């Protein structure tokens, strides 16, 4: 069994999840993402471009410290965001 070493000090620890800093647009997109909407469907629903949708998703993923839509949706449910 391989265990990850504990951070030597606080500066080695990962930064806290910044979900409280999600924008209103990011929250709306997160809710639609959780419902299984595609980027195209989210864009159409919100009246924005697919590129803008992707831009918001990118920043939201950084704040939530996730890399996939599925992980963002699971985390959003765990944190009570959706």
Q: What pLDDT does residue 13 have? A: 67
Q: Is residue 56 part of a domain?
A: yes
Q: Is residue 68 part of a domain?
A: yes
Q: Is residue 8 part of a domain?
A: no
What is the distance between the alpha carbons of residues 56 and 63, in angstroms, rounded to a whole number?
A: 11
Range of the domain at 48: 18-78
- Is residue 47 a contact partner of residue 78, using CB atoms and an 8 Å limit? no
What is the distance between the alpha carbons of residues 64 and 45, in angstroms, rounded to a whole number?
A: 23
Q: How many domains does the chain have?
A: 1
What is the distance between the alpha carbons of residues 10 and 79, in angstroms, rounded to a whole number?
A: 23
Q: Quick: pLDDT tens for 14-26.
A: 667 766 789 999 9
Q: Quick: pLDDT tens for 40-58.
A: 999 999 999 999 999 999 9
Handedness of CA 56, 62, 64, 68 (dihedral sign): positive
Find the CATH number of the domain harbouring 41.
1.10.10.10
Q: Is residue 29 part of a domain?
A: yes
Q: Is residue 30 part of a domain?
A: yes
């Amino acid at each position: 069994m391989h265990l990850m070493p504990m951070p030597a000090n606080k500066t080695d620890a990962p930064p806290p999840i910044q979900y409280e800093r999600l924008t209103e647009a990011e929250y709306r997109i997160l809710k639609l993402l959780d419902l299984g909407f595609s980027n195209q469907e989210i864009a159409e629903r919100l009246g924005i471009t697919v590129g803008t949708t992707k831009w918001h998703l990118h920043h939201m993923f950084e704040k939530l410290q996730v890399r996939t839509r599925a992980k963002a949706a699971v985390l959003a449910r765990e944190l009570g965001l959706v």
